[in-house]
Chain A
Amino acid sequence: MRTIIAAIAFIVAASAALAQVPPLTGRVNDVAGVLSNADKSALERKLEAVEQMEGHPQVAVILPATMGGLDIERFANDVFHAWKLGQSGKDNGVLIVIAPKERKWRIEVGYGLEGAIPDGRAKTILSQDMDPHLKGGKTDFYGALDAAITSITADIAKEKTKAPSESSGEGSVILIIFGMAGLAFLVILIGGFFSSRRQLREEERQAEVQRRQSAAQLAMEDAARARSDYYSQPVQRRTYPSRSFATGAGVGAAAASTPKRKTSSDDYSSPTSSWGSSSSGSSDSSSSSSWGSSDSGSSFGGGGGDSGGGGASSGD
């Protein structure tokens, strides 16, 4: 009984803590109201450009009015988790936090960008790009953010050129090879069946023999046709992540394969996000940015990414 009460108390406390996360209003969330409009839109434009990079990494900024007594590490992680920065499955988001009231600042890096921006690098960005504008009571928030965003963008770009091939790409190549092998096998089986029937007819109709001489040729033709069919819709296969199987198994049973570090609240959101990604993400390279209207720049929504507390903090 006591455990139940403790559990409920904990959940209430946890949701209360999460409730302090300000709503995501755009790429630059100046809750404290310390940036001028011109500065804010300059930063927004800069962050929009980052998102056009390969893999659509998302960099967001928050200047909270208050962190509600939380550590900046905890606050940054809660905000990142709630906003789901970065694309689903790639976790390629970065959150820059400057708390003007608490005089702390932090760069929180999503799981997927820990390679591009390891903690040591985040610390360097803080000490080289942000501290000079902020340390000792300075309030050049724009200067700090601008410099940090430039460095972060460069780091992400560098990582991309270092490792151009994605593991998911390799995975789908293997899938295609296996799929082709399976198809070819099927086609040969079916072709063999039809050809044996056709051989009976061959005796009656000689003309047809000339056109389709052997079962092998038929098989080849079919295989080629099947292949072109296959290529016309390879996308469906690729967007069959384990999670949508779990969703498909449905009846709420699911989630057995819903991966790693997801908390219970995510169990309810993941089906919708997986539907979203399997429909909108159908062409992977072109449209997959999760919030369609990124050109207008007005809407900036969580892409489903998460962070595990990577990054570094600084402060006065």
Chain B
Amino acid sequence: MKKLIALAIFVGLPLLAVLTYWNIYNGLVSSDEAVRQTYAQVQNVMQRQADLIPNLVETVKGYAAHENKTLTEVTEARSKLSAVARLDPAKLASDPELQKKLIEAQAAMGQAINGINATVTKEAYPQLQANENFKTLMAELSGSQNRIAVERRRNQLAVQAYNLKTRTALSGLVAQRHGFEPKPYFEASTTAQAGPPQVKF
């Protein structure tokens, strides 16, 4: 009987320790992966938005060809957006500079969309306002802004969860041993936080 207990202790405890360690390590790996995936998802919806722009530019050109400034703005915003959408999500997760670029690109796009909105409303292009294609595109664009906001919120939650794991008692030790660094928070700038542009047509 004593032998059995001894056996249980000598075999069971190390086994338990190994399993716990394994468990913690895998937990870190999976939340690390989750963070990466949320970045990829953010980039995904950004690319989706960028893809809408050429069509929008075409439509607006048909009615308001002389609004060059507005159109250039939105085209520039688009190239910024697709540039950040192509970044490696793993790099993005650990580099605050790249994250800043991502936020700036989104903010620039939000401004450009609002710019078009304002122009079309103020300069009174009633035909453009009534154009079905234009209405649909604006709805898709503002939907994209909202999608980006949603995915960024989920990204923030994933980063929080990961960072907590790298800092709490036991898993913090495992994280240190295997080089799981806390990740920078994907801070929201005030412009980007303002929410999706309102389309009033």
Contacts and interface: CB of A to CB of B under 8 A. Distances in A.
Interface in A249-294: 251-256, 258-264
B84 interface: no
A174 interface: no
Nearest to B20: A251
Contacts of B38: 261
A3 B199 CA distance: 37
B143 A312 contact: yes
B143 A119 contact: yes
Interface band, chain A = 35 or more
B199 to A, nearest CB: 8
A124 B144 CA distance: 16
B164 interface: yes
B195 A73 contact: yes
B151 A261 contact: yes
Contact of A11 (B143, B149, B158, B160): B160
A121 to B, nearest CB: 8
A260 B154 CA distance: 10
Contact of A308 (B151, B157, B182, B195): B151
Contacts of B182: 3
Contacts of A4: 164, 167
A120 B140 contact: yes
Contacts of B139: 119-120, 122-123, 312
A71 interface: yes
Given A73-B149, A309-B147, A309-B150, A261 B41 contact: yes
Q: Is the interface of A mostly helix, strand, loop or mixed?
A: mixed
B30 A120 contact: no
Nearest to B45: A308
Interface string A1-39: 001101100110010000000000000000000000000
Contacts of A10: 156, 160
Contacts of A256: 26, 29-30, 33
A77 B150 contact: yes
Given A122-B139, A123-B136, A308 B158 contact: no
A308 B38 CA distance: 12
Contacts of B19: 251
B70 interface: no
B31 A123 contact: no
A254 B150 contact: no
A263 B150 contact: no
Nearest to A7: B160
Contact of A7 (B22, B31, B164): B164
Nearest to B139: A123
Contacts of B144: 119
Interface of A: 3-4, 6-7, 10-11, 14, 71, 73-74, 77, 118-124, 251-256, 258-264, 307-312
Interface of B: 19, 22-23, 26-27, 29-31, 33-34, 37-38, 41, 45, 135-137, 139-140, 142-144, 146-147, 149-151, 154, 156-158, 160-161, 163-164, 167, 182, 185, 195-196, 199
Given A74-B149, A119-B139, 12 more contacts: A11-B160, A73-B195, A119-B144, A122-B139, A123-B135, A123-B139, A255-B30, A256-B30, A262-B34, A264-B161, A308-B151, A309-B151
